[in-house]
A and B are shown apart, each in its own frame.
Chain A
């Protein structure tokens, strides 16, 4: 897919994140928006998947280890055709299959339930290991938050992946630099993130702008060429990317826009969509 088309997908995902959170009156916009370009790239370009056959055996797998950014994943799945876009407005509503955090039992296209931080990467390691055991060629992707990597389990999983040479595993870190209580440095610095993954025997790719589709493409293309070790793609991103008043604002980690804020956000995103259409 052309870069411009992928950018349009990311814009649509952002609009759907804002709409679904507004409808839910709760949820996590900041980290969903920072990762919107990653979701768009994975689901429209990178992964071998089939929305008509969500459980096909040789599909690539994705685990949203930072499960609270489910609105971004759901928007990407809806955009790709796994379920109707209008269902996104039932997010977090009683009785909806679109739970606050990913639920593999009920949501087409969700490969693993997640939400409790640090656990998704281990499941992704298990999936990658399974493909190795069976000599299958599909790949496993997992997206982590930069706050999430404070969890010790992340490094247990990384140690196993490096130790077992799982080159079919691609770990992506959404390095938006903010967590609930402040910047990640203020709270409990995970830096240097790249050096840590290198020390755990990963091939590390630093992406200077993880909201830039060209840079994402280069990183994912490189990851596929790596043999004998797992890859970690560390993406510098902007939390709340695409909505001016949310960008780099720690307060927008976990609250939904009110009606007025929703209007502003949608206006900005639609303007961006129009400018993309004119390119």
Chain B
């Protein structure tokens, strides 16, 4: 078997920005002294006149983005998820969300796969925080293909967007001719009848492997990739839940407030079924190599399978 190509979604973002920048003069990119890490620096190299480093001042960066957008520019503001969704939460809510401004917040280094930097830099609450803001579109792409498509869709969408990006290189799983990214539309990756697995972000790759393993064990799982956390494709999820009667959510985020919560909210109203929420279990992360942490927190293929088997009683 040939080696699977891996790329971090932050790299995909940087590359996508350059492509978008060639076509669209109105794109202005902002960062808060993390351009080398968020990969907004890729855009800076290509278009130095349309890149502004706000320094270590995330609150101000969000406000500057808001001001730029009122004049017709389309700002993409980047920093780590912790400092965008976390530190600048209220600026995003009041200066971007409330006036529904056309600002794209593209935050990298989300989740525990930040790795060695540890808990202070591992934002596992961003999806929850951003999902709460009326009118905010929240995207969590799974791989290179999806991150590039999402960046384009974010530009084309009129209104605020939060996009979650990762530090860790992840397998390219969407490299197929019929791949299509539509905001708010989930993608069925495996059809099945026994259980529905809803995954997002880098967990989609692990969930594919888990599904294939479950198939060998005689469990026919349906797998849905939810790249848009908000608006959530609740119709697709509910229809699948109706068929399988059981739903498992998988996310590299706290099980409080993110995909698991969003799916439970939708199913409680549309199709009540038992749900297992796999994710970070109401705890902070810690330092360590990303892959070791994903293993320790049972968010790799093995950890997901262990939790699924236990829940299904297999």
Residues of A that sit less than 8 Å from B by CB: 57, 61, 63, 103-105, 111-116, 118-131, 133-134, 152-153, 156-157, 159-160, 163-164
Whether the pair B54, A111 counts as a contact (CB closer than 8 A) is no
**Counting CB contacts under 8 A, is B223 at the interface?**
no
A-B pairs with the 8 shortest C-beta distances? A126-B67, A122-B63, A156-B60, A156-B57, A123-B67, A126-B64, A130-B71, A113-B99
A129-B64, A130-B71, A163-B55 known; 11 new pairs, CB 8 Å cut-off, are A63-B67, A103-B99, A115-B94, A121-B63, A122-B91, A123-B66, A126-B64, A152-B59, A156-B57, A157-B63, A159-B57
Which of A121, A159, A160, A163 has most chain B Cβ within 10 Å?
A160
Mark each residue of chain B from 44 to 57: 1 if its CB lies under 8 Å from any CB of chain A, else 0: 00000110101101
Check B59–A133 contact: CB distance below 8 A. no
Contacts of A152 in B (CB 8 A): 59
Can you list 8 residue pairs at the A/B interface with Cβ under 8 Å? A61-B70, A111-B70, A113-B95, A123-B63, A127-B67, A130-B71, A156-B55, A157-B63
**Which bucket holds chain B's interface residue count?**
20 to 34
A122 and B92 CA atoms in complex are apart in Å by: 12
- Interface of B, helix, strand, loop or mixed by DSSP: helix
Is there contact, CB below 8 Å, between A127 and B60?
no
With contacts A115-B94, A156-B59 known, is A126 near B100, CB below 8 A? no
**Cβ of A157 and Cβ of B60 under 8 Å apart?**
yes
B28 at the interface (CB under 8 A from A): yes
A160 touching B64 by the CB < 8 A rule? yes
Once bound together, how far apart are the Cα atoms of A131 and B94, in whole Å? Answer: 23
- Report chain B residues within 8 Å CB of A119: 59, 63, 91, 94-95
Bound form: Cα–Cα A181–B63 in Å: 27
Q: For the complex, what is the distance from the CA of A59 to the CA of B147, rounded to whole Å?
A: 37
How many angstroms between the C-alpha atoms of A156 and B54 in the bound complex? 9
- A130→B73 contact, CB < 8 A: yes
Residue contact B95 to A122, C-beta cutoff 8 Å: yes
B179 adjacent to chain A (CB < 8 Å): no
